[in-house]
Structure 1
């Protein structure tokens, strides 16, 4: 293949733009800001689960307290009724004795219920404290996530701008290149990641390997408009004033 030496030199500009675009794509795939967002999301999920667990515990204990309060109230109401009957003098001596026994039983039952109520209320207080702590931790984690997302989106915005700008420059530059030369360059770049490289001294700009003497002689003997390829990597070798001996064009 032949191509004007000036067009071949423009391949270096194209390769530079493609390298910058490749770095931007790599940056997008591996950006630590995205990792920070994912870590923050994991933390938020963990705290949300903890808040749900704590809220469930508070709800369960609250219902237990309410149930015990109702049972205590029922026993107290029964005590008040029995005591009223005893004090009224309207019941027989046997009934008074029975009511007195029942009052003793109710008093013991109320004491047990009140102890249980106090224990559950203490657990409820502790659960509410845990819930407040977990909610505060969740709020902090969500704030950290929002900050991480903002930083990531800022970096993504910069990458978007760079890719748009360099992409437009590449498209414009590509229109100045011969179609067959551009097609070969794109084919090589898709295969190896590098379509063209500058020959600096005897070193290929694609694979960074020094050419041997026979290859250098072949490059030097090539016409200025010959499209030369590296024997090692197949990359288009662009000859410049930095190239060895008569290989320069």
Structure 2
């Protein structure tokens, strides 16, 4: 059975206490409420950014549609203007002038239809541009929120990092001179037992797993040398005897 000075075993509980505080500080650092808020807002920005890109593409397509409609209307207008000019000048035979009048009527209907297309395209473009502007404004507003939360996160991280640095110094000081074999066993157990490798034996109870030892086991433990490293039968952690805590 491995041994280690009883005083070292008691001091090991100080190391364990610091390690738990480190573990808790790291957990707080990794699970700050603000981190979930930032993740949620970042996801919203991603969705809105996709909508912004989609509406930008849609608006670009509609601008081309509006331009084409305007060009088509202008072509008809120019043709009608030429026909009107010829009609007013009385150029051509009566039959030619009659044909011009008929063509002007067709061009008028054509122009009206094209202007309807143009108007629809312009209305669709206006709606798409408003959607794009709205998405852009929302993205900018949420990004401002994220920046504020990021500053809050960084401030919290700074405080926790300072706490962790202090704990690291305390841990180093607490572990100085401890029995190497005891520390190695503790580290191995701590890695496989949720961060707790050693616990005090108090009033017949293992404070690591809260198991109350039976009288026979207690008598057996009490009979062992003070420097014997005792393990809890239930959780296998190091049981530290004679600790004040």
TM-score by structure 1 length?
A: 0.89
Q: CA deviation at 1:146?
A: 2.1
Give CA-to-partner distance per residue, 1:133-179, whole Å, 9 cap, x none: 22221112222222333333333333322222222322332232111
Determine which structure has greater relative contact order: mean sequence separation of CA pairs < 8 Å that are 6+ residues apart, divided by chain length: 2
Q: Which runs of 5+ in 2 are unaligned?
A: none
Residue number among 197, 200, 206 corresponding to 1:198 in the alignment? 200
Q: CA deviation at 1:59?
A: 1.5
Whole-angstrom distance in 2 between the partners of 1:240 and 1:148: 48
Equivalent in the alignment of 1:82: 83
Q: CA deviation at 1:242?
A: 4.8
1:59-70 paired onto structure 2 within 5 Å: 59-70=60-71
Q: CA deviation at 1:19?
A: 0.7
Give CA-to-partner distance per residue, 1:42-71, whole Å, 9 cap, x none: 100111011112212222222111111111
Report the 3-state secondary structure (helix = DSSP H, G, I; strand = E; otherwise coil) of the residue aligned with 1:81: helix
Residue number among 222, 238, 243 corresponding to 1:220 in the alignment? 222
Residue 231 of structure 2 is aligned to residue 236 of structure 1: no
Q: CA deviation at 1:185?
A: 1.3
Whole-angstrom distance in 1 between the partners of 2:140 and 2:6: 63
Equivalent in the alignment of 1:246: none
Contact 2:10 2:240 (8 Å CA) reproduced:
yes
Q: CA deviation at 1:210?
A: 0.8
Q: CA deviation at 1:17?
A: 1.0
1:44-123 paired onto structure 2 within 5 Å: 44-123=45-124
1:120-131 paired onto structure 2 within 5 Å: 120-131=121-132
Whole-angstrom distance in 2 between the partners of 1:23 and 1:12: 16
TM-aligned CA distance change 1:241 to 1:176, over 3 Å:
closer
Whole-angstrom distance in 1 between the partners of 2:99 and 2:182: 112
TM-score by structure 2 length?
A: 0.90
Whole-angstrom distance in 1 between the partners of 2:39 and 2:94: 78
Equivalent in the alignment of 1:208: 210
Q: CA deviation at 1:212?
A: 0.9
Equivalent in the alignment of 2:168: 167
Report the 3-state secondary structure (helix = DSSP H, G, I; strand = E; otherwise coil) of the residue aligned with 1:240: coil
Q: Which runs of 5+ in 1 are unaligned?
A: 244-249
Whole-angstrom distance in 2 between the partners of 1:160 and 1:46: 33
Report the 3-state secondary structure (helix = DSSP H, G, I; strand = E; otherwise coil) of the residue aligned with 2:235: coil
Report the 3-state secondary structure (helix = DSSP H, G, I; strand = E; otherwise coil) of the residue aligned with 2:241: strand
Contact 1:37 1:152 (8 Å CA) reproduced:
no
Residue 173 of structure 2 is aligned to residue 146 of structure 1: no
